[in-house]
């Protein structure tokens, strides 16, 4: 039976995740998720990442439609489902008191909540890694074959939810390395579990060979500031919370040298769970291509929460209770920002504004490297039934009837001869006004409207945030 604290935390996770779930527009990656999910098996593996998530999401959208709530609900469910698993991991290794603190820290983590309200595979990856860590703990404690199979399946499939889950497999291997030295039944079980999980991952890794680093070209190079900001992002954006959590985790890590063998084993597993993926991502970022992004390492955040929670319960009671309450309150205060601040570019609002003004037949140019969210809202808001404008863009996942997919230069040349009364341009990668080519001198700017999401300093340390601003412009013919 699920303990009261774990049950309450699970319900709280469902409530927090469901609240204002459709308040913000889908951003480009979420619209891409919808497109991949609707595309069938060929599309699920086309992205070289999150194939398992696209497959599950494909079932959801076929049953319940592809509205914003439906697309994001799977992540909310995975977020909530991970709470009792996290509780059991901490209870098994460190006691019920630490488990209660850990799940409350997890549910009140604004970073986790923000991604729990996003139609991407991060929460599925977190859930599978949590189940894998629980299974590995049981294997280390001498459990039977069922837990070996559970570890192999969940850890292997986690890679299909997000590629960086592969680092947790490496972390587990390093944490269990001392157990490989002496021949035993446990050694055979660990080898079987690790090899099976790795084997399940091979098809995806084979597919990834030769894909290059183009998909992560927008991530900024590693800097000292970004490394320091990593725990700040993971703890919801609070520098104080990040500092205290890091100090508590270091205090917790001392347990790797504890006298009790079981305590050493479990502590080593948690420390490796956090440390190895971070070190691997940093090494790849420095030697191959920048890949250090907080959400790519989200599978390690529960380890930080576990370490901080265990350290709190081991501290003197007069210090532990005020510190635990203070940390939870500080974390909860960050949740308010998740609901108040616009984090995703407002495509819904910009498309509505555009179609409230544009007239049938007026040409529209999309200066959008990724037009998926634009097409999504044209279809979702029922605007595709209106006489469509002309635009030089591919209909990626949500085709608009009678769309003319023309190259930009070809359309500009065509418009120069037709001389329409008004031309519209939508852009989101450049703050500068686009070149009009052969239309220059014949058209004057009539309207310029901006729609922007919030991009704080921490976000800017890790990635290009230029796509967070959408601009609508209309030009009228100079008579």
pLDDT in tens, 260-309: 778 888 999 999 999 999 999 999 999 988 889 999 999 999 999 999 99
Q: Do 73 and 12 have their domain in common?
A: yes
> Which pLDDT score, from 0 to 100, does residue 413 have?
86
Q: CA-based diameter of the chain, in Å?
A: 88
Mean pLDDT, range 30-54, rounded to an integer:
88
**Coil, helix or strand at residue 313:** helix
pLDDT band at 9 (very low <50, low <70, confident <90, very high): very high
Q: Which of 92, 382, 353, 334 is nearest to 233 (CA)?
A: 334
pLDDT band at 403 (very low <50, low <70, confident <90, very high): very low
Spatial contact of 102 and 309, defined as CB atoms under 8 Å apart:
yes
Single residue among 323, 340, 357 that ends a domain in this structure? 340
pLDDT band at 214 (very low <50, low <70, confident <90, very high): low
Mean pLDDT, range 69-73, rounded to an integer:
95
Q: Do 455 and 387 have their domain in common?
A: yes
Q: Do 166 and 260 have their domain in common?
A: yes
Retrieve residue 122's tokens.
Answer: 């991060």
Residues 45-49: contacts with CB under 8 Å, at least 24 apart: 45/207, 48/163, 48/204, 48/207, 48/208, 48/211, 48/215, 49/121, 49/162, 49/163, 49/215
Residue span of the structural domain in which 180 resides: 4-340
Q: Do 318 and 355 have their domain in common?
A: no
Q: Which residues pair with 423 in a beta bridge?
A: 475
Q: Do 221 and 252 have their domain in common?
A: yes
Q: Do 364 and 283 have their domain in common?
A: no
Q: Which of 76-80, 194-198, 354-358 has the lowest mean pLDDT?
A: 194-198
pLDDT band at 402 (very low <50, low <70, confident <90, very high): very low
pLDDT tens by residue, 379-398: 888 887 666 666 664 433 44
Retrieve residue 273's tokens.
Answer: 């769970």
Residues 6+ apart with CB under 8 A from 249: 274, 304, 307, 308, 311
Q: How many angstroms separate the CA atoms of 422 and 420, rounded? A: 6
Percentage above 90 pLDDT, the chain? 53
Q: Do 73 and 198 have their domain in common?
A: yes
Q: Answer yes or no: pTM beyond 0.95.
A: no
Q: Do 192 and 215 have their domain in common?
A: yes
Distance (Å) of CA 173 to CA 47, 116, 143, 170, 307:
28, 29, 18, 5, 19
Q: Do 131 and 186 have their domain in common?
A: yes
> Which pLDDT score, from 0 to 100, does residue 452 have?
86
Please compute, for residue 28, the number of CA atoms within 13 A of its CA located in the half-sphere on the CB side.
14
Q: How many angstroms separate the CA atoms of 105 and 338, rounded? A: 16
Q: Do 134 and 237 have their domain in common?
A: yes
Single residue among 284, 311, 340 that ends a domain in this structure? 340
Q: Which of 27-36, 38-47, 52-61 has the lowest mean pLDDT?
A: 38-47
Q: Do 179 and 278 have their domain in common?
A: yes
Count of domains for the chain? 2
Single residue among 340, 364, 388 that ends a domain in this structure? 340
Q: Do 299 and 444 have their domain in common?
A: no
Spatial contact of 107 and 13, defined as CB atoms under 8 Å apart:
yes
Mean pLDDT, range 49-74, rounded to an integer:
93
pLDDT band at 371 (very low <50, low <70, confident <90, very high): confident
């Amino acid at each position: 039976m699920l303990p009261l604290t774990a049950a309450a935390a699970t319900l709280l996770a469902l409530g927090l995740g469901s609240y204002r779930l459709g308040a913000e527009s889908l951003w480009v990656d979420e619209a891409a998720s919808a497109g991949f999910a609707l595309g069938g098996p060929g599309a699920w593996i086309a992205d070289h990442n999150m194939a398992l998530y696209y497959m599950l999401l494909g079932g959801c959208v076929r049953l319940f439609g592809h509205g914003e709530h439906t697309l994001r609900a799977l992540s909310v469910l995975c977020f909530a489902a991970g709470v009792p698993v996290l509780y059991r991991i901490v209870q098994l290794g460190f006691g019920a008191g630490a488990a209660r603190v850990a799940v409350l820290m997890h549910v009140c983590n604004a970073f986790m909540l923000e991604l729990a309200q996003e139609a991407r595979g991060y929460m599925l990856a977190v859930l599978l890694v949590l189940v894998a860590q629980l299974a590995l703990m049981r294997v280390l404690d001498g459990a039977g074959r069922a837990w070996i199979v559970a570890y192999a399946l969940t850890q292997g499939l986690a890679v299909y939810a997000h590629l960086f889950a592969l680092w947790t497999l490496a972390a587990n291997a390093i944490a269990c390395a001392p157990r490989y030295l002496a021949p035993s039944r446990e050694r055979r079980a660990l080898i079987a579990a690790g090899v099976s999980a790795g084997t399940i991952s091979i098809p995806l890794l084979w597919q990834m060979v030769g894909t290059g680093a183009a998909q992560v070209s927008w991530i900024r190079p590693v800097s000292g500031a970004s490394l320091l900001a990593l725990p700040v992002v993971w703890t919801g954006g609070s520098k104080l919370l990040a500092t205290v959590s890091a100090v508590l985790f270091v205090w917790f890590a001392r347990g790797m040298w504890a006298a009790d063998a079981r305590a050493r084993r479990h502590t080593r597993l948690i420390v490796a769970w956090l440390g190895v993926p971070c070190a691997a991502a940093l090494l790849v970022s420095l030697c191959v291509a920048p890949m250090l992004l907080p959400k790519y390492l989200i599978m390690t955040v529960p380890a930080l929460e576990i370490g901080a929670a265990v350290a709190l319960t081991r501290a003197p009671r007069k210090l532990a209770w005020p510190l635990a309450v203070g940390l939870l309150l500080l974390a909860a205060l960050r949740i308010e920002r998740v609901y108040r601040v616009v984090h995703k570019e407002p495509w819904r609002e910009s498309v509505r504004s555009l179609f409230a003004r544009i007239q049938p037949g007026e040409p529209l140019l999309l200066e959008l490297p990724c037009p998926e969210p634009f097409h999504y809202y044209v279809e979702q808001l029922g605007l595709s039934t209106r006489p469509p404008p002309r635009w030089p863009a591919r209909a990626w996942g949500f085709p608009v009837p009678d769309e003319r997919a023309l190259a930009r230069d070809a359309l500009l040349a065509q418009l120069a001869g037709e001389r329409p009364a008004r031309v519209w341009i939508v852009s989101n990668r450049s703050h500068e006004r686009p070149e009009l080519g052969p239309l220059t001198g014949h058209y004057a700017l009539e309207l310029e409207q901006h729609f922007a999401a919030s991009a704080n300093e921490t976000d800017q340390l890790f990635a290009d945030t230029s796509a967070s601003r959408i601009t609508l412009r209309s030009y009228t013919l100079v008579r």
